[in-house]
Structure 1
Amino acid sequence: TEMFGLYALSGKATAFMGPALLAWVTVAFDSQRAGMATIIVFLIVGLCLLAGVPDQRGENTGASKVGR
């Protein structure tokens, strides 16, 4: 559904952004450590976005079994 479409779009968008940013930062700062730090930034941003997603699936299954 639309969530899988958003997942596919975000995957394609970051597929070129990550390596391009890593290469640019590595060349700009002349340090592979600085380039790899961009990967950590991407992981932290993804974790923050994931933290905002509600987990309603577990609440719905638990509520339906309580009434039985």
Structure 2
Amino acid sequence: MPRILVEDDLQARRLVTVDLDLRAPVGRIHAVHLGKKGMRPVVRHLLDWLATAYQGICPPRPR
């Protein structure tokens, strides 16, 4: 969540910040989606993160 949306809850201690050390899993993965039309931003963000995390490990995805 964007911090600006939850700042009041963080200050009131209704929410806490959890820092995760996210790393791409070892091995090959496949991301299947319906295409760019109507793609939600969170899906685009995940696909971009995976592409960056696997850069140099897997062949580039077709464009």
Asked if Structure 1 and Structure 2 have the same fold, meaning a TM-score greater than 0.5 normalized by the shorter chain, the answer is no
More helix by share: 1
TM-score, normalization by structure 1:
0.26
Of the two, which has the highest radius of gyration? Answer: 1
TM-score, normalization by structure 2:
0.28
Higher relative contact order (CA 8 A, sep 6+): 2
